[in-house]
Structure 1
Amino acid sequence: MKFTVSQSSLLKALSVVSKGLGSNSTIPIMSGIYIKADQGTLEFQTNNLVITVRHRIPANVEETGETVVSGKVLMNIVKTLPDSAVVFDGGQRTISISCEKSSFRLNTLNPADWSEFPEYSLESATELPCELLSEMVDKVYRLTSKESSRPVLQGILLTAGDNTIRLVASDSYRLAVCDASAETGDGDFSAIVPGNVFHEVLGMTDGAEKISIGITDSQVVFSFGNTTLVSSKIGGTFPNYRQLLPTSCSTSVKINIAEFSAALRRVTSIATTNAAVRLDIDADGKVMRLSTSSPDQGEATEVLPVEVEGESCSIGHNYHYVFDCMNAVSDKKEITLELQTSMKPGVFKTNGKINYLYILMPVRL
């Protein structure tokens, strides 16, 4: 095997497929990058048993062949090389890498031990705009559950149809629903996509306009540009989140996001052991009072002017979860908080290019 490729093109390709490298794997080949040179094209693959990534780039291929090289070592080398032509030669047991005055000889692994890229036949698929979808995933993926006891909550429910994209995520303490208008093609699409994988994939698109997402009975397949990524699909049925969406409220509060976030950060600075923040809404005085207390540190309060419709009301929330909501809508100026009683969930809402709804269970005051 012998080929020449530019350092910048090679580094970009390695950065993409490195997302599929195994970490601390006891199987050496899982920490490797499979390289295949064939007729003017280099193909790179990684596989960590959760996702499999394939990426192709053009190159000057003099001799075809395949090999497997340590991903970490290869990345470390290529990062340090100048932006010039990089020549690879060999591949059976060792491979030499040269670039200008630098040269390396690396031990390789047997490509015959590499698992073939998964074959798949899509049952359904949709093509969506990368930039918009990435913004939406950023707003919901942190809500996916970290507990393996309910795998379905580790995923994001993606539905696309009638030119509307919707993402839903929940860890059972809170629920986020994201809607946006975009061309979705014919038919309806629905899949539960692993949250971390979804976020990782959209961080790899690097300027691609569209991403294709398809499903088989056990896989989710992402395709964009010269990259294909296959992940296991989360089975089961996503909870019926629609029944959790309140149809009315007794109190509606318009909140300046920047001012509220700053006040929340101040009053919770003493809450080292108690994660609860109390929100008292005074409908007559048109103010919101934020307060926290800590048995060891004391108490903190701050009053914010707000627009209130309806009745005065109080509610307690886990302030870490409130911060997650504020971070998700930090690009907005204002958010609406809708309340029913102190024992029912609070609902944060914003509208715009992306409509965002965040339902948060209360804590006992």
Structure 2
Amino acid sequence: MKVYCSKDSLLTGVNTVQKAVSSKNTLPVLQGIMIKAEGQSLIFEATDLEIGIRCVVPAQVEEEGVAVLPSRIFSDLVRKLPDAAIILELENDIITIKYYESDLSLRGYDPEEFPLLPDLLDAETFDLPVSLFKTMIKQTIFTCSTEESRPVFTGCLLQIEDNTIRLIATDTHRLAYRFAEIPNTDQFKFQGIIPAKTLGEIYRLLREEDENLIIRFNPSQIVFQFGSVYLLSRLIEGQFPNYKQVIPQSCQTKVILPTKLFQESVERASLLARDGSHTSIIKLTIDTEHLSIDQASDLGKITEQMEIRKEGNDVKIAFNSKFLLDVLKIIDSEEIIFELSGPYSPGIIRPVDDPDYLYLALPVRTS
């Protein structure tokens, strides 16, 4: 291998694929990044066998070849290279990186042992606007569980049916649901649970200039392609719960209130509401014209009150403050609709100007 390229190209490749490098796997080669010189490109790949990422960057290839380099040291070296023309040369699994009058060398792994990413050539394919899918991820991913003992809750359910796409996540205490209308002329149908790690990487890598996102899928894997990036992920096995059953179809109390003011009030009250389990439970009282937060603990007390517009019954209810703050931070709408049906029924939060999004949180029973 002999390749001429820029530091920026190397940095783009390394930064794109590095999060797919295995940190736990016992196979040493999975702790590496594969670089392959082919045509007029340098191809970077990494995988932990759950998720794989490929990135193609421009390069001047004098001699084709492939190497697998230890991720951590290679990434650190690339970041510390000068902004100069870089030459990569490979001989006997040792790659030499030349810049100015200097050079350094790294011993790699055997490329024959590196598992290449499949292309899912026989898969179903459709596209989506990048901006839409990025918004859908932002509005749902924070609701995924981090408990590996219940895998189906550690991802988001992606559904495509007729002309509708849905993304749903729940950790059993709360649920986020977003849908959108899409052109689906071939009437593709898909249902699969995508790991939160995969969606987090897609969100990190998607750029505004990437207008279209191509999605391919088969029963066990899904691929996302955008710009110069190819990301493959396994789907989580198991049955996602019937989310439609837990979403109330009506409410006894409907409140419209300013998003930012409510968020700031909850943040202040939560500071004085920590109990022995480090959970901040805040109590809300909703009457004709006001929403009140009255909080007292060994740390002190606070009374917050704001004007609201209300339809229906007065209600007193308590929530884990984190469950409210997580959603309030990602809502761009100036006002939200808060729907309640008594102190023990789920609360629903919707942005006033986004009817395609819904967030549900279970209340906390207090003495």
Shorter-normalised TM range: over 0.9
In the TM superposition, what whole-angstrom CA distance separates every residue of 1:157-191 from its partner, at most 9, and x where no partner exists? 11234443321110000111112344444313332
Distance 2:26 2:240 in 1: 34
Aligned residue number for residue 233 of structure 1? 235
RMSD (Å), alpha carbons: 1.9
Distance 1:160 1:153 in 2: 19
Query: What does 1:161-180 correspond to in 2, within 5 Å?
Result: 161-180=161-180
Aligned residue number for residue 79 of structure 2? 79
Distance 2:158 2:183 in 1: 15
- The residue type equivalent to 2:336 in the other structure is I
Q: Is the 8 A contact 1:145 1:154 kept in 2?
A: yes
2:292 to 277, 281, 289: 289
Aligned residue number for residue 284 of structure 2? 279
Aligned residue number for residue 212 of structure 2? 210
Percent of aligned pairs with the same residue?
33
Shift of residue 322 of structure 1?
A: 0.6
TM-score, normalised with respect to structure 1:
0.93
Secondary structure at the aligned position of 1:112 is classed as helix
Distance 2:122 2:116 in 1: 18
Matched, 1:300 2:302: yes
Structure 1: tracts of 5 or more residues without a match: none
Secondary structure at the aligned position of 1:341 is classed as coil
TM-score, normalised with respect to structure 2:
0.92
Distance 1:353 1:146 in 2: 28
Secondary structure at the aligned position of 1:18 is classed as helix
- The residue type equivalent to 2:206 in the other structure is T
Secondary structure at the aligned position of 1:324 is classed as helix
In the TM superposition, what whole-angstrom CA distance separates every residue of 1:95-121 from its partner, at most 9, and x where no partner exists? 110122442111122112212323535
Question: Which shows bigger deviation, 18-27 or 194-203?
Answer: 18-27
2:252 to 244, 250, 253: 250
Distance 2:87 2:152 in 1: 46
Distance 1:19 1:71 in 2: 10
Query: How many equivalent pairs are there?
Result: 361
Query: What does 1:140-155 correspond to in 2, within 5 Å?
Result: 140-155=140-155
Distance 1:73 1:108 in 2: 11
Q: Is the 8 A contact 1:126 1:160 kept in 2?
A: no
Distance 2:91 2:54 in 1: 19
Shift of residue 25 of structure 1?
A: 4.6
Distance 2:155 2:122 in 1: 20
In the TM superposition, what whole-angstrom CA distance separates every residue of 1:114-145 from its partner, at most 9, and x where no partner exists? 12323535443321111221121011101111
Aligned residue number for residue 104 of structure 2? 104
Secondary structure at the aligned position of 2:238 is classed as coil
Aligned residue number for residue 318 of structure 2? 316
Aligned residue number for residue 197 of structure 2? 196
In the TM superposition, what whole-angstrom CA distance separates every residue of 1:300-354 from its partner, at most 9, and x where no partner exists? 221111111111111111111111111121x210001111111111111114457
Distance 2:354 2:248 in 1: 22
Shift of residue 205 of structure 1?
A: 2.6
Distance 2:91 2:330 in 1: 47
Question: Which shows bigger deviation, 301-310 or 34-43?
Answer: 34-43
Distance 1:186 1:352 in 2: 31
Distance 1:117 1:337 in 2: 45
Distance 1:168 1:94, change over 3 A: same
Q: Is the 8 A contact 1:256 1:333 kept in 2?
A: yes
Distance 2:280 2:326 in 1: 13
Q: Is the 8 A contact 1:268 1:300 kept in 2?
A: no
Question: Which shows bigger deviation, 118-127 or 43-52?
Answer: 118-127
Structure 2: tracts of 5 or more residues without a match: none
Distance 1:225 1:303 in 2: 48
- The residue type equivalent to 1:290 in the other structure is I
Distance 2:197 2:66 in 1: 31
Q: Is the 8 A contact 1:161 1:186 kept in 2?
A: no
Distance 1:82 1:352, change over 3 A: farther
Distance 1:91 1:254, change over 3 A: farther
Aligned residue number for residue 6 of structure 1? 6
- The residue type equivalent to 1:41 in the other structure is S
Shift of residue 3 of structure 1?
A: 0.9
